[in-house]
Amino acid sequence: MQSHVRLAGLATIALVLASSCAPETSVVKLYEDPARPAKTYQRLLVVDISSDHSRQQQFENEVVTQLRRLGTDAIPSFTMLDTSNGVIQEEVDRAGEEVGADGILMTHIASVDTEVDVQEGREEWKSTCRGGDPVDYFLYDRELIAEPDSVNMALTLVVISNLYDGESRERIWTIQSTCFDKKSVSEALIEEADAIAQQLHIDGLID
């Protein structure tokens, strides 16, 4: 990994600001092949490596949606590949050939950190005067108001993405994207998909 960073010079940090992702999604470029073909990729096969097939399907669909929004044709792999059972390079290459992909984008969730903030509930008495002399205790209705505990969760999701050339099968690009303070994994995956697609566009790998 250190040699990859040296090949890229210094790791480039790009901040992709998203209005719905607080405070930001950060993208760190880990590797870029200096000898990569000078071309933009028009049709990408998207492969998410996950131990959960439904999560693979969910993330691939999000990435495909963001790539298509930017005008790049993209195909999810989950109908051809179930990565929860393990997948080998030959299977990925075969799927890429079947759909005519000129590039293969492979992702995997590297880590999910969860912070839980529990605010203890509280109880208090509410007194309502029924009328009469307000200093007479027995003229008040008393009701116990109980507020339940509140639980706030904040997820930090880290995804590693690799782009492979469809013809040479060589890895040409790797980034690490991190989305902070999301309420759910599903919400974080949407932000991650947007960050990945945007960085591909910024780096001139897609139109």
| Domain spans of the chain, in order of start | 2-115+152-202, 118-150
What dotted CATH number matches 2-115+152-202? Answer: 3.40.50
Q: Confidence class of residue 24 from pLDDT cuts 50, 70 and 90?
A: confident
Q: Confidence class of residue 166 from pLDDT cuts 50, 70 and 90?
A: very high
Q: What is the pLDDT of residue 19?
A: 38
* pLDDT 10s digits, 27-81: 999 999 998 878 999 999 999 999 999 999 999 999 999 999 999 999 999 999 9
Q: Which helix (H) or strand (E) holds 175?
A: strand 171-182
Rounded to whole angstroms, how far apart are CA atoms 137 and 135? 6
Rounded to whole angstroms, how far apart are CA atoms 59 and 47? 9
Q: What percent of the chain has pLDDT over 70?
A: 71
Rounded to whole angstroms, how far apart are CA atoms 56 and 49? 7
pTM reported for the whole predicted model: 0.73
Please, which residues bridge with residue 154 across strands? 115
> Residue 91: is its pLDDT beyond 70?
yes
Provide mean pLDDT across the span 164-191.
95
Long-range contacts of 119-124 (CB under 8 A, 24+ apart): 119/149, 119/150, 119/151, 119/152, 120/149, 121/146, 121/147, 121/148, 121/149, 121/150, 122/146, 122/147, 123/147
From the CA atom positions of the chain, what is the Rg in Å? 25
Q: What is the pLDDT of residue 1?
A: 39
Sheet holding 171-182, edge to edge: 12-16, 25-32, 171-182, 150-165, 103-119, 43-49, 73-76
